[in-house]
Amino acid sequence: MVKRPRTQSEPPPCLPQVIAEQHVPIPSTDKDSQRLIVVLSNASLETYKQSSGGGRPGARAGEEKYSLLNSDEHIGIMRKMNRDISDARPDITHQCLLTLLDSPINKAGRLQIYIHTAKGVLIEVSPTVRIPRTFKRFAGLMVQLLHRLSIRSVNSQEKLLKVITNPITDHLPPNCRKVTLSFESELVRVRDYVETLKPKESICVFVGAMAKGSDNLPMG
């Protein structure tokens, strides 16, 4: 079970900035080089309109304020919408991204990450992005991404996070094995399974980034 980090109700004073790491990854346009592709599916990334700025000090009339829907801050809102609180767990996606981006395979430049949200938004994650470590700043970054559709590096014009068109299969290499995970399947040793890949065959693993529920994978 993914441990949820503590969150704070106050918004960050400014939008978080992201910069790129310096290692050279395989570009997503390269369809021949072998790599691991991870798709975080059914991710709980959804914005919520809190208010339209009128009563806040310094806020302009008509200014809209959004936050990332999460179970720590929006229990009452989720109940009013008659939705399960487990539908608001963006912290799972946050922890998954931190783990994947810190992994040796990403440092070697052979990892590609995509996020497919429960609302059907497909996001490409640059292997060089440095995701904010605190959930508060991550939430601000995701709100910015979902409304602006891309996040650029502060020291270049590179898009480190961007919303792309569905389906995910349009962005995978042609020679790519697609794998899903299930508790009901036979246990397989990862090392043994990887050895069955052909020299130029990539592998795409779909991982459910939600607290509970079935994997409705974005294969179509």
204 domain-assigned: yes
214 domain-assigned: no
Segment 193-197 mean pLDDT: 92
Q: Which residues contact 83 (CB under 8 A, 6 or more apart)?
A: none
Segment 189-209 mean pLDDT: 92
20 domain-assigned: no
- Residue 217 confidence (pLDDT) above 80: no
Structural domain including 190 reads 66-208
Query: How do residues 134-188 score in pLDDT, each as one tens digit?
Result: 999 999 999 999 999 999 988 888 899 999 999 999 999 999 999 998 878 889 8
Domain count, the chain: 1
38 domain-assigned: no
74 domain-assigned: yes
The CATH number linked to 146 is: 3.40.1280.10
Query: How do residues 88-113 score in pLDDT, each as one tens digit?
Result: 899 999 999 999 999 999 999 999 99
Query: How do residues 10-48 score in pLDDT, each as one tens digit?
Result: 444 455 555 545 467 887 777 778 999 999 999 999 998
Query: How do residues 51-72 score in pLDDT, each as one tens digit?
Result: 665 455 555 555 678 999 887 7
Q: What is the rounded CA–CA span in Å between residue 194 and residue 184?
A: 20
At 215, is the pLDDT very low, low, confident or very high (cuts 50, 70, 90)?
low
121 domain-assigned: yes
Query: How do residues 112-122 score in pLDDT, each as one tens digit?
Result: 999 999 999 99
Q: Which of 119, 166, 165, 169 is nearest to 142 (CA)?
A: 119
15 domain-assigned: no
Q: What is the pLDDT of residue 147?
A: 95
Q: What is the pLDDT of residue 122?
A: 98
179 domain-assigned: yes
Buried b (16+ CB within 10 A) or exposed e, 58-97: eeeeeeeebbbbbbbbbeeebeeeeeeeebbbbbbbbbbb
